[in-house]
Structure 1
Amino acid sequence: MTQKYIAKIVPLNADFIGTKAHGQAEFTEDDDTLHIKIEMFDTPANTQHWEHFHGFPDGKDAKIATMDQDANHDNLVDLPETEAVSGTTMVPFDNAPQDMNIPNDNYPTSDANGHFAYEKDVPLDALKKQFKEVFGTDDLELDKRVIYVHGVPQSLKLPTSVAGEVGDYDAHVTLPIATGKIEKA
């Protein structure tokens, strides 16, 4: 049985970043494969963009973050501030989503116009096995998840209040620039 999901991706932190990153994501579950297709426009140019779906392991419905989540009032919603409404980072859209290896340098990089396209076929059995190991369930529940696209150039001066370090990666890498609710098509 084939099931399709779509997320309209809207800007987050656009006023500070200076671009209104937007796009669309499509997820198609077809027997043993999850086909992922994401296209983004107006992202910060020539920048690697981490992208993931976020959610709650207990199955609670995730919502996209808005400026309402700016808890420290620095006019930016950083990664930790998204967690209350969006949950935790779950599956990366990198070169091997099924490995669920979040911090790495294998994410798409935008071109000089701020555009990138990502397309990947992911073996569902491998992804669900790893998902169960990490989150205790093999049900991806895509319609209860949200997608985030992250990343601004290192040259952008961020306030010291911006958090989101992950391993050796700083808040420039993890700052959300766009988000979208994943819904059944």
Structure 2
Amino acid sequence: MVHLTTRYEAAIVPLNASKIGSEAYGHASFTIDGDTLTIKIDMHGTPANTQHWEHFHGFPDGKQALIATELQDANGDGFVDLPETEPVSGTTMVPFDDAPENMDIPHDRYPVADQQGGFSYEKKVPLATLKQNFKDAFGDDDLKLDKRVIYIHGVPDSLNLPASVAGAVASYDAHTTLPIATGQIVAVD
């Protein structure tokens, strides 16, 4: 049996850097080999000692998602918050947490940056389980990684955010959901 290996990558660039006091950047790779998706994410310059939610976002209809820039700051408060990313990036789809295949988004099982503001994440994900849960959520089991973008979220609770910064999810406030970095996922030959 021959396994077809498919690879995707994303260069992760800062978002909201001038407002959060750090420039988060990094690299992500996604490798599909047989029934396993291996996700690797290395981040630098993130707010230190802070949990960072990370996901891929996209449109359920498969439309090309794009990364948000300062141009998405619709209310002019100087921050691009989670709702402001949706018109160009779509919705939150798959989390990069302790079990991405479960597609359980709001919880405290995401990476925490070290005191230098870095973290590395690596997970081997059972593709069949992820695809079934993805289909249940979005009506199609094709992850279409080359149509998605990655977001890294999270700033310390001590950061003063204006009331106009939205993005509360369940019992988590905008400090948890504020995007700090993003990257376009592209197929690698």
Settle same-fold status: TM greater than 0.5.
yes
Q: 2:132 aligns with which of 129, 132, 153?
A: 129
Give every structure 1 segment of 4 or more consecutive aligned residues whose post-TM-superposition deviation is greater than 6 Å. Answer: none
Paired residue for 2:103? 100
Q: Does 1:166 align with 2:161?
A: no
- TM-score, normalised relative to structure 2: 0.98
Paired residue for 1:12? 15
Aligned length: 185
Per-residue CA deviations over 1:85-108 (Å, capped at 9, x if unaligned) read: 000000000000000000010000
Q: What's the secondary structure of 1:117's corresponding residue?
A: strand
- TM-score, normalised relative to structure 1: 1.00
Paired residue for 2:78? 75
Q: What's the secondary structure of 2:123's corresponding residue?
A: strand
Identity among equivalent positions (%) equals 68
1:128 CA displacement? 0.1
Per-residue CA deviations over 1:43-70 (Å, capped at 9, x if unaligned) read: 0000000000000000000000000000
Residue ranges of structure 1 left out of the alignment (5+ in a row)? none
1:9 CA displacement? 0.1
Amino acid of the residue matched to residue 122 of structure 2? E
Counterpart Cα distance in 2 of 1:170 and 1:100:
20
Residue ranges of structure 2 left out of the alignment (5+ in a row)? none
Counterpart Cα distance in 2 of 1:19 and 1:111:
14
Q: What's the secondary structure of 2:136's corresponding residue?
A: helix
Paired residue for 2:67? 64
Q: What's the secondary structure of 1:3's corresponding residue?
A: strand
